[in-house]
Amino acid sequence: MRIAGSAGLLSGRRPPPGAQPGVFELPASAHPSDVRALIWDGERLEERTVHGPEELAAAAHAPGVTWIEVTGLGDGTVLAWIRDALGVHPLAVADIANTPQRPKFEDYGDRDLLIAQQVCRDEDAGIAVEQVSLIAAPHWVLSVVERPCELFAPVRQRIRTMASIRRMGADYLAYALLDAVIDGYFPTVEAIAEVLDDLEDEILGRPGPTLLARLHSVRRVLVTLHRSMWRQRDALAQILREDGEPLGAGVHVYFRDAHDHTLQILDAVESYRELTIGLMDLYLSSVSNRLNETMKTLTIMATIFIPLTFLVGVYGMNFEVMPELHWRFGYPVLWTGMIAIAAGLLWWFRRRGWLGKDPEDESGGG
Amino acid sequence: MRIAGSAGLLSGRRPPPGAQPGVFELPASAHPSDVRALIWDGERLEERTVHGPEELAAAAHAPGVTWIEVTGLGDGTVLAWIRDALGVHPLAVADIANTPQRPKFEDYGDRDLLIAQQVCRDEDAGIAVEQVSLIAAPHWVLSVVERPCELFAPVRQRIRTMASIRRMGADYLAYALLDAVIDGYFPTVEAIAEVLDDLEDEILGRPGPTLLARLHSVRRVLVTLHRSMWRQRDALAQILREDGEPLGAGVHVYFRDAHDHTLQILDAVESYRELTIGLMDLYLSSVSNRLNETMKTLTIMATIFIPLTFLVGVYGMNFEVMPELHWRFGYPVLWTGMIAIAAGLLWWFRRRGWLGKDPEDESGGG
Amino acid sequence: MRIAGSAGLLSGRRPPPGAQPGVFELPASAHPSDVRALIWDGERLEERTVHGPEELAAAAHAPGVTWIEVTGLGDGTVLAWIRDALGVHPLAVADIANTPQRPKFEDYGDRDLLIAQQVCRDEDAGIAVEQVSLIAAPHWVLSVVERPCELFAPVRQRIRTMASIRRMGADYLAYALLDAVIDGYFPTVEAIAEVLDDLEDEILGRPGPTLLARLHSVRRVLVTLHRSMWRQRDALAQILREDGEPLGAGVHVYFRDAHDHTLQILDAVESYRELTIGLMDLYLSSVSNRLNETMKTLTIMATIFIPLTFLVGVYGMNFEVMPELHWRFGYPVLWTGMIAIAAGLLWWFRRRGWLGKDPEDESGGG
Amino acid sequence: MRIAGSAGLLSGRRPPPGAQPGVFELPASAHPSDVRALIWDGERLEERTVHGPEELAAAAHAPGVTWIEVTGLGDGTVLAWIRDALGVHPLAVADIANTPQRPKFEDYGDRDLLIAQQVCRDEDAGIAVEQVSLIAAPHWVLSVVERPCELFAPVRQRIRTMASIRRMGADYLAYALLDAVIDGYFPTVEAIAEVLDDLEDEILGRPGPTLLARLHSVRRVLVTLHRSMWRQRDALAQILREDGEPLGAGVHVYFRDAHDHTLQILDAVESYRELTIGLMDLYLSSVSNRLNETMKTLTIMATIFIPLTFLVGVYGMNFEVMPELHWRFGYPVLWTGMIAIAAGLLWWFRRRGWLGKDPEDESGGG
Amino acid sequence: MRIAGSAGLLSGRRPPPGAQPGVFELPASAHPSDVRALIWDGERLEERTVHGPEELAAAAHAPGVTWIEVTGLGDGTVLAWIRDALGVHPLAVADIANTPQRPKFEDYGDRDLLIAQQVCRDEDAGIAVEQVSLIAAPHWVLSVVERPCELFAPVRQRIRTMASIRRMGADYLAYALLDAVIDGYFPTVEAIAEVLDDLEDEILGRPGPTLLARLHSVRRVLVTLHRSMWRQRDALAQILREDGEPLGAGVHVYFRDAHDHTLQILDAVESYRELTIGLMDLYLSSVSNRLNETMKTLTIMATIFIPLTFLVGVYGMNFEVMPELHWRFGYPVLWTGMIAIAAGLLWWFRRRGWLGKDPEDESGGG
């Protein structure tokens, strides 16, 4: 399990210290941008591709509700359109460009900025965390993601097929998009639960050589998810304290539900972090235990044979005068003595509990 | 001690991310539902089984107080009845269906939603945590559980036999049901206390091979109980801040008592978590100690016999010119020297405190 | 140091989950009850033993201030008297009976309930924690303890001998009793400080086999005291926020002093908990250190003699053609070589710092 | 990675305890001071070097906005000018002189004091933390640093070249300088992220001898950065609560952005601290693992050869009566027996999992 | 570094539990008391020694500002004077006598009580923590210390020599004394920083046998300083919330500065606590590392020589039929084989990284 994606680390894009606030710099490798608008008014539903600032302004000001969906930042032209044609504050535009920002809510009059972080499961790299930026205005919502991750597809589908969401305003659309992003954490959290279960079984059974690395990478993922969800929760609490437009009291019941989901995810992430620490303790204990078993094996072996080897060494000496060597029953008597010593030591080990049943065959302590 | 039950983990039922809020999906394996109504008004007490939305509405609107008890969600038909015939908000119905929710209180006008988590002791799997959902309305209370766990039986019995509870309103009934759920944690917490006492005795005595696994599973149970009770406490504090119907100030003295019980349980769970960490430390220390004892045994054995074995090896050599071999008292002199060396080493070990009384026979450090 | 007493653990008396709130169950083994009243009015002082509900009501309503002291709960008859003759709320009576409750303050109109936990030093079991329940009314105070622990004796003595306390009201009496209970923690906390000092000396010196068990039991005691004092502090803060009768602003300066004492005790308990964790770390480090010393001894011994034993083995072989065996100075040359090898190894060990002064004779690392 | 600079430690300059508040003492080694003023008014821009208190006052009171940039404290003369010619409170001047102060905001009427700590990357010593003091007045801003660190260069450049910043007031200038200092943390935090990644790879691979020292020094740097940023965040939150001059509501949107940056840095620093602790655990576990591997090697070797060595010792004895020695096939039979014993022990080790594939060649546990 | 002094531990003087509040008991060994008064009014400055309650009252009520300096409590007579002649509340007098109290501020009308704890560096015992009690009244300040520690000397000197402090009121004097006490922590904190630097160098170099004990005692000192400063900060925050006499808003700017110093000290103490825990981890890791090195030495030695010793044992056997013994080149062939075995094992150890450069010579992991 690995974290990838621009939002997973702090090492994102950022203008150099001391630069003018509100500026942004985009790497040449940025994903080319694609701007689509979904406009509906009652029963009417229209989808457009937007090619310039005028078309953008027209789409935003169309009657009804408009969802402008931007994918990829390209060379930043689209960001200039957003700033100029839609009247979004330059600081908000800079937050869209200079990823990763922490999840937050900022009220710029009737252009509210919502930053969230989406978690996509990526077959190769594990988990990709990407910034999602939303601008909520009274009649339109702008969403910006850099790389497509199909979290918005079900929302788009609901708009196309169900009348109920089309009867709600732009504030509900902002909620629906944010909720899709937040609910996208659940499958990841469940995957972590399964990984932890596997790791626990492995630690109590026979831990493999990559166990520690896997345990540590789960810990990293949990630290990232916790940081992200914690800020998301703060942002939602702030929305619930807001009063005016565009995210008014009318949709608070829905945002409260989203807030509740962040709490559920946080609860789970915190429990899993605690379990991860518990697993690390468990692993350390079981390694110590195993070391003890190893040492007992060595000690039993050495303690039994070292005195016997000494004894046979004694009778390998070449002294002229060693009467025992000439006794008739010297050899069998020595064997008897050596067997007695070995038996005595074995009895002593058993009394100390070192020779009970082999704990390796049991779960747990082996 | 193991956690089972749908509420113990986050991996519950949940519509896919991006789905419409308020929808729910039920697995085909859901427990079939059984709806019973208990209606009383002064001395009159009536029990009915409810078979359709009209009967449900009739029971809820019967004069007096009604307790509608739903066991099992079946195919979700009952949930639709609740939404449509009783006027419960779709988001509240979704929270009943999409278990596990965290324990919470939500005020939907005069239909308050209370989510709690009951702890049932299950002979096979240890502990089963299940969601309990309550809807409190001015004249009726609806309780929904998926699998029956006889926590509500004493309340039912009190309603059948005691006039005092029948003189109170629906708000008191909501309290009585919630209190039964919360008090159901006490036996589990006491069982954990006993398990911890046993584990402590075992660590200080002779730890068995499954000790670590048992210690870790207690830790898991405590993490789950803590998460659940912490949220329950928040939910109760929120009820105590509420003012209007249906859970008004009249029953606050009772809910304050329930809140007090959550604090007691939390205190105990937190103390036990700390003790669990202390036991893990204790175990690690005692394993280290035991390892040290093992190594001392080996070191004493090896240190005494290795020089002696060297010496007897010397006189096993076949050099032509080895004058000692021809001395008359060479052999007894060698024995005397070897015994002196062994005695000297034993004296040195005793001075270092390695040969005191056998700590294995004492409690603690062995 | 061991915790005993009913309040030390959660496994107290408690009606089964789902039972009616306000009920209590008493074990057959409960201490028989003894009710005494101490009544004063100006200079007049009277002591009575109370035998029934009428006498109880008469004592409470006598002119002046009355202290009703109940020791032992017996079969619960006294609790029924308290409920019926003194007008105490059934939930408050249940809290007196169903011990242990957490320390708390609850305002039932002009019958305030104060729950505290007293710490008695018990020669056998170490520390016994018992619940103390106080009911403060405008003109009387009721105190209930199950087992006598002479914390109230000095207060009784002051009432008998000093006019100053007899000039104050019932609110001051409630304070005096609570303060006696809180100040009773100081000797215990001092005893813990001494135990920790002894444990520290022992860890840095020569730790005995029961050290770990004693360290862990101090940790348990500290967890219990912390839990208890923390709640006591909350309860006192709540009293200081109360305004009306019976514990009005007039005695707040005294309750503030008691609050201050809880803070002092909490400070000490928290510092000692931290030191206990520090001692556990210290112990683990010193065990590791000792293990290292053991292993160095073994390694030095084995590393010196293993090559020498090999060498003498070589010349014990029976090959026909082994020219060295026939050299005139073969034997002394071998001895010289072996002494050189041993000296070289010793020099190498000294260079690695393994043969410095014996750390066992120093404090600390041995 | 090492922390240097006067603000990294508490051991800064400070008058002796009991001295008059507001005094300062400067070491003889202080950097000589250099005072420059940058004055602009609309399009006009003027740069001056200031040589005396009168010139300082004149620059501050010039029409438009003035930025007075002091580098180095010299013998403190400049501080006396600041106090006397600019009317800055003596306590504020003492805070400028007695470095390091914690980052803070203090409101002395219309002379607000802002203390921050800049992080400079220093090729030799790693990271240098230096105090930056700002005095914000309605029409001028004074900045004091002891050693130049080119964080202010981009701001100076923007003033020289861009009209936009010259249209803003002194309050915006104060923001721009503070923001440059805060954004200067980002490269350091990114460098730490890289160091942690390297350390993680090394721990899971083949840890070198300096690993522990490097891990610990990262921990020290993180502790310092956290302390500094935490206080910076508090200071910014306090500015956002201020209302009047000179840092009024007009620039709050910018200070909110700076506050947001401190939160981002804090998030990262806290995550990295947690990862550092995780890495220490990982390292301990892998050392234990390695020890276990070492011991298994020894145990396998010793356990196989110790019994065999005993056996060959037996037949090296010189008893007169040892019938086996005279058997024709004694020698090959013994070899067969010894090979059988060795094979049996190897089989037993393999069954215990000690002889699986070499975990050293894998990542992780080796 | 050791903590001494009455305030370092809880085991101070205290009346028995249940005693009347406001009483105090003094040990026979208390330092005899010495009462001096410093009175000034404008330019006039007078110093007196006070011998009785009348002189005390006269000094306090002299025109201008009076500083009454009490050193030592003697038999408590002085405390009775303070209570009776200066009108100080009995609970405040008890707090002066029953040391140690936690640092606090209590408002008894126009006699404010300030408790602080001074840290004196004591050549023998390390650090002595002593209670300082201040009573601030509108025109005088009373300071009580048990043992003289020259923290107040610079303040006395400033009063004697500088007119500026003589122009301020009694409230400023209270601040100046408290500030002298708080600033007295800085040298101790700096000394701890140096000790920690030394310990870190030693751990990474060659740790001596007393290292653990010293590390633990630094931890104890930090726990004590943290507890003390934390409460001091609370007390100062409370003064800043006070409004009326004697510590009014006029001196709040100075108390805010003192509050700021407590925050600086707390920051440092918390950072050092974290570093101490880090050093303990570092030590544990380096001990484990060292153990691993020891074991590798043993394992290499044993693994090479154990098979060789077996081989030479084989050819020391006395079987009649051992053809190898009669081969002409048997002996050199055996040597060749043994050298090959040793070389093979050395190659294998080098491949496993056990024979790289000696890590003992490097800093860090050795």
CA-based nearest residue to E121, from E64, E184, E171: E184
What is the per-residue pLDDT across B186-199, written as a single tens digit (0 to 9) for each? 888 888 888 898 89
**A8 and chain D: CB distance < 8 Å anywhere?**
no
CA-based nearest residue to A136, from A166, A106, A158: A106
Q: Do C141 and C4 belong to one domain?
A: yes
> What residues in chain C have per-residue pLDDT under 50?
5-10, 357-366
> What is the nearest CA distance from E2 to chain D, expressed in angstroms?
21
- Is residue D297 one of the residues assigned to a domain? yes
Please report residues of A whose CB lies closer than 8 A to that of B317: 318
pLDDT score at E125: 56
Q: How far apart are CA D145 and CA D125, in angstroms?
A: 19
| pLDDT band at A363; cut points 50, 70, 90 | very low
Question: Is residue D10 predicted with pLDDT exceeding 50?
Answer: no
Neighbours of C (≥3 Cβ pairs closer than 8 A)? B, E
> What is the nearest CA distance from A301 to chain D, expressed in angstroms?
6
Please report residues of A whose CB lies closer than 8 A to that of D314: 312
Q: How many residue pairs bridge chain C and chain E with CB atoms within 8 Å of each other?
A: 182
Q: Tell me: ipTM over 0.90.
A: no
Q: Which token pair is A322?
A: 């060693």
Rounded mean pLDDT, A101-130:
83
Q: What percent of chain B has pLDDT over 90?
A: 21
Mean pLDDT of chain D: 83
Number of domains in chain D: 2
pLDDT score at A224: 87
Which of residues D120, D139, D166 is at a domain's end? D166
pLDDT score at C247: 83
Question: Is residue D136 predicted with pLDDT exceeding 90?
Answer: yes
Q: Which residues contact B166 (CB under 8 A, 6 or more apart)?
A: B40, B42, B43, B45, B65, B159
- In this complex, do A211 and D320 lie within 8 Å of one another by their Cβ atoms? no
What is the per-residue pLDDT across D191-235, written as a single tens digit (0 to 9) for each? 888 889 889 888 888 787 788 888 888 888 898 899 899 999 999
Please report residues of C whose CB lies closer than 8 A to that of B302: 298, 301-302
CA-based nearest residue to C173, from C251, C61, C115: C251
CA-based nearest residue to E105, from E270, E265, E264, E258: E258
| pLDDT band at E12; cut points 50, 70, 90 | low
- Is residue D213 one of the residues assigned to a domain? no
Please report residues of E whose CB lies closer than 8 A to that of C307: 301, 305
What is the per-residue pLDDT across C15-32, written as a single tens digit (0 to 9) for each? 777 777 777 777 666 677
Of A207, A216, A283, the CB nearest to D278: A216
Location of structure tokens 């200080």: B204
- Is residue E357 one of the residues assigned to a domain? yes
Report the chain C residue with the minimal C-alpha distance to residue B187: C11
Neighbours of E (≥3 Cβ pairs closer than 8 A)? C, D
Alpha-carbon Rg for chain E in angstroms = 34
Which of residues C168, C188, C205 is at a domain's end? C168
Rounded mean pLDDT, E329-354:
86
- In this complex, do C292 and E297 lie within 8 Å of one another by their Cβ atoms? no
- Is residue C149 one of the residues assigned to a domain? yes
Rounded mean pLDDT, E199-210:
83
- Is residue C219 one of the residues assigned to a domain? no
- In this complex, do A154 and B16 lie within 8 Å of one another by their Cβ atoms? yes
- Is residue C264 one of the residues assigned to a domain? no
Q: How many residue pairs bridge chain A and chain D with CB atoms within 8 Å of each other?
A: 181
Location of structure tokens 């390892």: B291
Distance set, CA C155 to CA C112, C159, C232, C262 (Å):
20, 6, 20, 19
Distance set, CA B281 to CA A270, A291, B198, C275 (Å):
22, 17, 16, 15
| pLDDT band at B358; cut points 50, 70, 90 | very low
Q: How far apart are CA D332 and CA A41, in angstroms?
A: 99
- In this complex, do C303 and E306 lie within 8 Å of one another by their Cβ atoms? no
Burial class from Cβ neighbours inside 10 Å (0-12, 13-18, 19+) for residue A303 reads: buried
- In this complex, do D306 and E307 lie within 8 Å of one another by their Cβ atoms? no
Strand pairing of C65-71 and C34-41?
A: antiparallel
What is the per-residue pLDDT across D286-331, written as a single tens digit (0 to 9) for each? 888 888 888 888 888 888 888 888 888 888 888 877 888 888 888 8
- In this complex, do C364 and E209 lie within 8 Å of one another by their Cβ atoms? yes
Question: Is residue B30 predicted with pLDDT exceeding 70?
Answer: no
**C46 and chain E: CB distance < 8 Å anywhere?**
no
Specify the higher pLDDT residue, B17 or D303: D303
pLDDT score at A9: 45
Report the chain C residue with the minimal C-alpha distance to residue B205: C213
Please report residues of E whose CB lies closer than 8 A to that of C279: 216
Q: Which range marks the domain in which residue D82 is found?
A: 1-166
What is the per-residue pLDDT across E216-232, written as a single tens digit (0 to 9) for each? 889 888 988 998 999 99
> What is the nearest CA distance from C337 to chain B, expressed in angstroms?
13
**A10 and chain D: CB distance < 8 Å anywhere?**
yes
pLDDT score at C8: 44
Neighbours of D (≥3 Cβ pairs closer than 8 A)? A, E
The predicted model scores a pTM of: 0.79
Please report residues of C whose CB lies closer than 8 A to that of B299: 294-295, 297-298, 301
Report the chain E residue with the minimal C-alpha distance to residue D100: E264
Of B302, B314, B320, the CB nearest to C312: B314
Distance set, CA A207 to CA A197, C57, D352, D364 (Å):
13, 71, 13, 11
Which of residues C168, C194, C222 is at a domain's end? C168
Q: How far apart are CA D57 and CA D85, in angstroms?
A: 6
pLDDT score at C257: 87
- Is residue E100 one of the residues assigned to a domain? yes
Q: How far apart are CA E114 and CA E234, in angstroms?
A: 12
- In this complex, do A325 and D306 lie within 8 Å of one another by their Cβ atoms? no
Please report residues of D whose CB lies closer than 8 A to that of A331: 317, 319, 321-322
Report the chain D residue with the minimal C-alpha distance to residue A309: D310
Q: Would you say C334 and C304 are in contact if contact means Cβ atoms under 8 Å apart?
A: no
Question: Is residue B9 predicted with pLDDT exceeding 70?
Answer: no
pLDDT score at B2: 60
What is the per-residue pLDDT across B261-278, written as a single tens digit (0 to 9) for each? 999 899 889 989 888 988
Please report residues of B whose CB lies closer than 8 A to that of A263: 102, 231
**C301 and chain B: CB distance < 8 Å anywhere?**
yes
Q: What percent of chain E has pLDDT over 90?
A: 21
**CATH number of domain containing D89:** 3.30.460.20
What is the per-residue pLDDT across D18-57, written as a single tens digit (0 to 9) for each? 777 777 777 666 677 889 999 998 778 999 999 889 999 9
Please report residues of B whose CB lies closer than 8 A to that of A186: 10, 14, 17
pLDDT score at D304: 87
- Is residue C226 one of the residues assigned to a domain? no
CA-based nearest residue to C131, from C11, C235, C7: C7
- In this complex, do D209 and E260 lie within 8 Å of one another by their Cβ atoms? no
Of B260, B282, B316, the CB nearest to C216: B282
Rounded mean pLDDT, D247-274:
88
Q: Which helix (H) or strand (E) holds D45?
A: strand D44-49
- In this complex, do A297 and D292 lie within 8 Å of one another by their Cβ atoms? no
Specify the higher pLDDT residue, D360 or C247: C247
Question: Is residue A359 predicted with pLDDT exceeding 50?
Answer: no
Q: Which token pair is D96?
A: 């400028």
**CATH number of domain containing B331:** 1.20.58.340
pLDDT score at D173: 93
- In this complex, do D210 and E362 lie within 8 Å of one another by their Cβ atoms? yes
pLDDT score at C232: 93
For residue E130, list its beta bridge partners: E118
> What is the nearest CA distance from A228 to chain D, expressed in angstroms?
9
For residue A106, list its beta bridge partners: A113
The 8-class DSSP code of residue B33 comes to P
Q: How far apart are CA C296 and CA C304, in angstroms?
A: 12
| pLDDT band at E123; cut points 50, 70, 90 | low
Q: Which residues contact E157 (CB under 8 A, 6 or more apart)?
A: none
What is the per-residue pLDDT across A180-209, written as a single tens digit (0 to 9) for each? 999 889 888 888 888 898 898 888 887 877
> What is the nearest CA distance from E33 to chain C, expressed in angstroms?
27
Long-range contacts, D171-174 (Cβ 8 Å, 24+)? D171/D136, D171/D246, D171/D247, D171/D248, D171/D250, D171/D251, D172/D251, D172/D254, D173/D65, D173/D67, D173/D141, D174/D112, D174/D114, D174/D134, D174/D136, D174/D141, D174/D246, D174/D247, D174/D251
Q: Please, which residues 197-236 of chain D have a Cβ atom closer than 8 Å to chain E?
A: 206-214, 216, 219-220, 223-224, 227, 231
